[in-house]
């Protein structure tokens, strides 16, 4: 899945993560179809009939047709894998399908037949949904990157980090096109350049050293940290030539090796400048008690200048992790480090020398595409269009592959069409019918979905048209629609709805006023009767012959 040795982990701090799919609105996305299928099958394995079709249908509906997202997906299909990549493709398929790699047909340059059938079924479904599909001459991620570099799309959707090596600038590694659990995780080549000083050529060098899909093992024993330490030292114009030189057994001088480790470890180069000049000198003797230059016997007798005890004799016990700052110790540290660097480089050199034909020029050529050959298979147009799904064949297709009944398909699929139907009503002189049968008859209510106000529109059937297979349709359906589109397509429905809203408001206002007046009347009656009662208590009525007991 791209550069080996945990490349995605390396760049994880540079990830842009969002749970808002609306960030993809109107963005053209080149989606690597094989990876998309493999990921989705892993999610739904054994739980649904033809999970690749089921999930593709729902996710395309979410991505493309939902008003909350409205992205423009372009699916990219792998061509034949270069022979170099065959083992990686088999391993990838084996990992997700659970079929042991040995059982997979590795004898020719084709993947498992069932998987290819799944891909072709997906292509057929996408065709019925009228979502563009492009076929690559070889690797889908290479074509995705090419489309993005040429401005045909805005981002590549693939978990294959090779896309960066093919020159992609924006890669969406994870795209969960699911309204309930949305997730977009993307990475930018510019972030990788800024934060890690890694350009496309550096990434190719890393792939050659630690492995990639074309060369699964890389150079055995060269880990990520060694490879990073090597490639980051050279500019993008130098790095691949340096790999070629090492392949020809032309190795850098010890000074260059010293600088290699300086740049990688943040070593202070001022300290390292004269390292080579003093390699032969040994460290001066030091006191075992305080750790300063001199010896314990002398310090006990005469004191230590560095401890400040010359007048009192003796010296203090050195602290844990004590590091002597004298020139001799600093030099000793530089010498040891240089020896370590030389050993590091000779080990690395031995590993590189053990590989024949390093670096593999074929891999460099595949990634850099120096011949500028397009990865787009001939005869395909880049005039991409996203049009209304073809309902009748779509119903037949979903019915036969997923065993969905027509009413269920229409419930799920008609909202995809309503947008296109309303657009043609808004633009055309004649009245368009949704699926040849429904017409918008009223606006039921205003609702808010993910912060966006929408109209809920009711569509009624205009006749007793029976769908494919003669099954009975619903008499009415409802869809959520953009307010602006409804205002253009059905202004009469909008004014009727607004009148209803006004009437509804007036009615509520009248009822409210009535209850308010009633409440005031009640309050007045209550207060006047209470005042009367109070008045009676203060001025009790004198009845002849009866006297009230005095309060005194
Ligand atoms: Zn001492
Ligand atoms: Zn001392
Ligand atoms: Zn010292």
Is 155 a residue whose pLDDT tops 90? yes
**How much is the pLDDT for 101?**
67
Domain tally, the chain: 2
- Pick 485 or 85 by higher pLDDT: 485
Final residue belonging to a domain, choices 210, 242, 275: 210
Q: Which domain holds residue 194?
A: 7-210
Three-state SS letters, 447-488: EEECCEEEEEEEEEECCCCCCHHHCCCCCEEEEEEEHHHHHH
Mean pLDDT, rounded, for 105-134: 79
Ligand 2 centroid, distance to 314 Cα (angstroms): 8
Ligand 2 centroid, distance to 296 Cα (angstroms): 9
**How much is the pLDDT for 264?**
44
Query: How far apart, in whole angstroms, are the C-alpha atoms of residue 540 and residue 533?
Result: 10
- Pick 271 or 95 by higher pLDDT: 95
Among 336, 334, 226, 340, which Cα is nearest to 273's? 334
Lowest-confidence pick of 187-191, 393-397, 404-408, 504-508: 404-408
Q: How confident is the model at residue 266 (pLDDT cuts 50, 70, 90)?
A: very low
Per-residue pLDDT of 362-406, as tens digits, reads 889 889 887 778 889 888 888 888 888 888 899 899 999 999 988
Q: Which ligand is nearest to the CA of 300?
A: 1
Final residue belonging to a domain, choices 194, 210, 226: 210
Highest mean pLDDT among 104-113, 142-151, 273-282, 453-462: 142-151
CB within 8 A of 230, min separation 6: which ones?
Answer: 205, 209, 260, 348
Q: Which ligand is nearest to the CA of 299?
A: 1
Lowest-confidence pick of 41-45, 64-68, 383-387: 41-45
Is 425 a residue whose pLDDT tops 80? yes
Q: Which ligand is nearest to the CA of 305?
A: 2
Final residue belonging to a domain, choices 462, 489, 516: 489
What tokens does 519 get? 């409440």
CB within 8 A of 406, min separation 6: which ones?
Answer: 395, 399, 467, 468, 469, 471, 473
CATH of the domain at 119: 3.40.50.1010
Ligand 2 centroid, distance to 317 Cα (angstroms): 8
Ligand 3 centroid, distance to 326 Cα (angstroms): 4
Ligand 2 centroid, distance to 324 Cα (angstroms): 10
Ligand 1 centroid, distance to 296 Cα (angstroms): 5
Residue 114 bridge partners (DSSP): none
Is 252 a residue whose pLDDT tops 80? no
SS3 content of the chain, % helix, strand, coil (to 5): 50, 10, 35
Q: Which ligand is nearest to the CA of 288?
A: 1
**How much is the pLDDT for 283?**
82
Q: Which ligand is nearest to the CA of 306?
A: 2
**How much is the pLDDT for 466?**
44
Residue 243, in any domain of the structure = no
Is 552 a residue whose pLDDT tops 50? no
Q: How confident is the model at residue 240 (pLDDT cuts 50, 70, 90)?
A: very high
**Block residue for tokens 């799919």:** 21
Mean pLDDT, rounded, for 38-44: 62
Residue 163, in any domain of the structure = yes
The answer to whether the beta carbons of residues 32 and 76 sit under 8 Å apart is yes
Is 459 a residue whose pLDDT tops 80? yes
Query: How far apart, in whole angstroms, are the C-alpha atoms of residue 203 and residue 227?
Result: 10
Residue 91, in any domain of the structure = yes
Long-range contact set of residues 91-98: C-beta below 8 Å, sequence gap at least 24: 91/216, 92/1, 92/38, 93/38, 96/38, 96/39, 96/41, 96/42, 97/38, 97/41, 98/45
Mean pLDDT, rounded, for 409-427: 79
Residue 84, in any domain of the structure = yes
Ligand 2 centroid, distance to 285 Cα (angstroms): 12
Ligand 1 centroid, distance to 330 Cα (angstroms): 18
**How much is the pLDDT for 452?**
76
Mean pLDDT, rounded, for 157-163: 92
Percentage of the residues of the chain whose pLDDT score is greater than 70: 82
Number of H helices, E strands in the chain: 20, 10
Ligand 2 centroid, distance to 313 Cα (angstroms): 10
Per-residue pLDDT of 314-353, as tens digits, reads 899 999 999 998 989 998 888 888 888 888 888 888 888 8
- Pick 13 or 334 by higher pLDDT: 13
Ligand 3 centroid, distance to 278 Cα (angstroms): 15
**How much is the pLDDT for 46?**
58
- Pick 279 or 81 by higher pLDDT: 81
Ligand 2 centroid, distance to 318 Cα (angstroms): 8
Query: How far apart, in whole angstroms, are the C-alpha atoms of residue 69 and residue 346?
Result: 55
Residue 97, in any domain of the structure = yes
Ligand 3 centroid, distance to 306 Cα (angstroms): 10
Mean pLDDT, rounded, for 465-483: 63
- Name the average pLDDT for the chain: 81
Q: How far is CA 520 from CA 516, 526, 530, in A?
A: 6, 10, 15
């Amino acid at each position: 899945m791209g550069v080996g040795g945990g490349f995605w982990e390396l760049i994880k701090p540079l990830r842009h993560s969002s749970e808002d799919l609306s960030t993809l609105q109107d963005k053209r996305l080149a989606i690597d179809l094989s990876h998309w299928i493999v990921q989705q099958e892993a999610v739904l394995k054994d739980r649904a009939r033809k999970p690749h079709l089921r999930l593709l249908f729902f996710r395309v509906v979410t991505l493309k047709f939902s008003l909350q997202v409205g992205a423009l997906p372009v699916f990219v299909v792998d061509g034949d894998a270069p022979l170099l990549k065959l083992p990686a493709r088999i391993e990838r398929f084996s990992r997700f399908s659970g079929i042991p790699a040995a059982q997979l047909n590795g004898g020719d340059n084709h993947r498992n037949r069932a998987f290819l059938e799944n891909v072709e079924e997906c292509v057929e479904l996408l065709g019925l949904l009228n979502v563009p599909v492009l076929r690559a001459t070889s690797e889908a991620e290479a074509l995705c990157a090419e489309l993005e570099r040429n401005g045909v799309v805005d981002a590549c959707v693939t978990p294959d980090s090779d896309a960066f090596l093919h020159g992609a600038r924006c890669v969406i590694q994870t795209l969960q096109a699911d309204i309930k659990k949305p997730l977009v995780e993307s990475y930018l080549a510019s972030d990788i350049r800024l934060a890690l000083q890694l350009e496309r050529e550096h990434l190719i060098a890393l792939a050659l050293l630690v492995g990639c899909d074309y060369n699964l093992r890389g150079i055995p024993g060269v880990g990520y940290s060694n490879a990073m330490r090597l490639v980051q030292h050279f500019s993008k114009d130098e790095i691949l030539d340096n790999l070629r030189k090492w392949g020809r057994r032309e190795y850098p001088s010890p000074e260059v090796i010293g600088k290699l480790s300086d740049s990688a470890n943040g070593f202070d180069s001022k300290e390292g400048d004269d390292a080579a000049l003093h390699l032969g000198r040994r460290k001066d003797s030091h006191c075992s008690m305080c750790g300063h230059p001199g010896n314990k016997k002398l310090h006990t007798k005469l004191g230590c200048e560095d401890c400040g005890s010359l007048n009192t004799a003796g010296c203090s016990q050195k602290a844990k992790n004590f590091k002597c700052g004298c020139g001799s110790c600093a030099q000793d540290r530089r010498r040891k480090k240089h020896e370590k660097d030389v050993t590091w480089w000779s080990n690395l050199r031995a590993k590189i020398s053990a590989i024949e034909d390093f670096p593999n020029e074929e891999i460099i050529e595949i990634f850099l595409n120096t011949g500028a050959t397009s990865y787009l298979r001939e005869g395909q147009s880049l005039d991409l269009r996203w049009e209304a799904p073809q309902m009748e064949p779509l119903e037949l297709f979903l019915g036969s592959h997923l065993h969905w009944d027509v009413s269920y398909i229409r419930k799920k699929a008609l909202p995809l069409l309503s947008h296109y139907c309303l657009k043609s009503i808004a633009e055309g002189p004649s009245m368009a019918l949704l699926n040849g049968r429904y017409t918008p008859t009223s606006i039921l209510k205003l609702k808010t979905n993910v912060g966006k106000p929408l109209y809920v529109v009711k569509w009624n059937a205009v006749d007793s048209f029976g769908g494919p297979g003669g099954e009975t349709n619903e008499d009415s359906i409802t869809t959520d629609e953009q307010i602006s589109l409804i205002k253009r397509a059905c202004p009469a429905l909008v004014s009727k709805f607004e009148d209803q809203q006004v009437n509804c408001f007036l009615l509520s206002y009248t009822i409210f006023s009535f209850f308010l007046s009633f409440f005031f009347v009640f309050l007045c009656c209550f207060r006047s009767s209470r005042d009367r009662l109070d008045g009676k208590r203060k001025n009790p009525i004198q009845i002849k012959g009866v006297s009230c007991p005095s309060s005194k």
